[in-house]
Structure 1
């Protein structure tokens, strides 16, 4: 990918790589239970009023799942879509203004609504709850009959905080809560959570998030993370998902992943000190050189794989103000979000999501799909 007119670096003589090397890596981790969840998603669509799609704020393209676009753009269902960017705690207020302006411009092209949150914060959960309640109230005012209540399905690629968000919204109506972090409450979780991809393996029952006395019940349905099939993925999309924690770290060589991290870092100016040792005074495109600099005295006996894995995990979990999708560094003249979405949909032109075939295989056990 050509990346002209990138940020002016402090070390003006350094030339970063404008294209990432081609490695022989897998491009997808699309599993059978994810396809099953996708089919159930389409089967449940007539019962739903809203799709809440989670994405990582650091990789808005790589954590976008075109499979959901294929269903929603078919116009078969009357569904409101709300895009929820997670990990807002990793994007500081000082650096987010220009970033948010670009995101807003992108979503305006597709007439998409979005919000940025930290799934664990009470105030953010309340803001999202207000949006859901407003949509539910709107259906009542328009006289739209919803005999099963207002239902929203929470979806996205793996490990973006879907179950954490479901728990946060559910606990807003609990009797007691921690005023700072919902995650510290003593209430029993209604959705299982974890720090690795693939904790949720099946679609949940309806989880009520509205007060019991509300005029119209509001329900959430938690789903397993759904990755991209190989035909809709690329090396860089898969690597960016891995840096976001959406892919289990044993699927990609840690040194290759560290090299991709280095590639993205060198295209950006670090807002907090250095990306790596001497990155501002002596930047390099050589991952072996970076790994040698990262070794401390106690790490001298560790191999490069262990050092790379440690470095990648630190940035994946705690790295601030870094972008894993390099398209975010391009101007509107160099990258069109709308054109990108159209091209991604073309890759799935013959990809079938047939819920009916799954129902036929289950035979009389239709309870698999009924909520």
Structure 2
């Protein structure tokens, strides 16, 4: 939902991160995960990096290139159904300037463009100067990326399309489902292709809190580590900046609003999510009914992740 130009209000030009730090947002198991991935590299022919199409230009882990960059590399920008791809050509040109030559947009839940993965991987492997086909009769591909971008969903989609088989990797709406480098999973018979699913690994040196918030919005960081209300505030800021006002109609607001407390209060009351709290006054404690802002924030974020608030680009 976009409003006519005359109906637009003045919104924030920048998001105030209020001196916050991302230091506490990164679980310690991630460093171990990257070390284990590097140890498996000897038997890997190609890397497939999966990232969120709503976040195509930031949030990727630069340590992948440092530790694993000696193999052919395909970047899969997943969840394309949730992204505003009107700037797709600009995105591709920007990524190509960064040295990425093979980029594919996919929707793994609907198997869209997933059939293109194996031909691209086969081409990358066979044209690589580093690849030696002396004895191997199979391809082994490592699937990498930050958490909750769809690595396991890609593997399961490929198995559905090429082998007519069910899930081999667990998937979920929260980061951290895959906690270890797994054994090889077959995804194709001809050519014979195996994939290694890996744990999502965030960079411990994200350049800014705002990049961290973008990752949190996409589900790469657990909500409680960042704070649901802060994530909801950044989502509101993003929607208003992009003139995406579908939240106004969805939650019955009178008009677009840039104050997250007002929006969350309205959502909480609409959902009937309130709580009884005690307030200390000069004459004693008084119990009042207050909206549950945390529940409303979770609802707001969850609706965005389902794509019900319109297609958004976070870069």
Q: TM-score, normalised by structure 1?
A: 0.70
Per the TM alignment, residue 297 of structure 1 is displaced from its structure 2 partner at its CA by 4.3
Distance 1:249 1:18 in 2: 24
2:74 to 75, 82, 106: 82
> Equivalent residue of 1:103, what SS?
helix
Query: Which residue is equivalent to 2:13?
Result: 18
Distance 1:199 1:85 in 2: 20
**RMSD, aligned α-carbons:** 2.9
Q: Which has the higher contact order (CA 8 A, sep 6+)?
A: 1
The gaps in structure 1 that reach 5 residues or longer are 1-6, 178-186, 326-371
> Equivalent residue of 1:246, what SS?
coil
Per the TM alignment, residue 127 of structure 1 is displaced from its structure 2 partner at its CA by 1.8
Query: Which residue is equivalent to 1:103?
Result: 91
> Equivalent residue of 1:322, what SS?
coil
Distance 2:187 2:273 in 1: 52
Per the TM alignment, residue 257 of structure 1 is displaced from its structure 2 partner at its CA by 1.2
1:149/1:32 CA distance change after superposition, 3 Å: farther
Give the 5 Å matches for 1:1-371: 10-11=5-6, 14-23=9-18, 25-28=20-23, 29-72=25-68, 77=70, 79-91=71-83, 96=85, 98-112=86-100, 113-138=102-127, 144-145=133-134, 147=136, 149-174=138-163, 177=164, 187-211=165-189, 214=190, 217-229=192-204, 231-270=205-244, 274=248, 282-299=255-272, 301=274, 302-318=291-307, 319-325=309-315
Per the TM alignment, residue 35 of structure 1 is displaced from its structure 2 partner at its CA by 1.2
Per the TM alignment, residue 33 of structure 1 is displaced from its structure 2 partner at its CA by 2.6
Distance 2:264 2:112 in 1: 40
CA deviations 1:69-99 (Å, max 9, x no partner) are 32356xxx2x1111111111223xxx52x32
1:323/1:197 CA distance change after superposition, 3 Å: same
Per the TM alignment, residue 102 of structure 1 is displaced from its structure 2 partner at its CA by 1.6
1:163/1:101 CA distance change after superposition, 3 Å: same
> Equivalent residue of 2:144, what SS?
strand
Query: Which residue is equivalent to 2:285?
Result: none
Aligned residues: 294
1:209/1:101 CA distance change after superposition, 3 Å: same
8 Å CA contact 1:265, 1:275 repeated in 2: no
CA deviations 1:48-77 (Å, max 9, x no partner) are 22111111111123431111132356xxx2
CA deviations 1:107-159 (Å, max 9, x no partner) are 1212312111011233422122222233345469x864363732211011111
Distance 2:228 2:245 in 1: 25
> Equivalent residue of 1:14, what SS?
coil
1:105/1:300 CA distance change after superposition, 3 Å: same
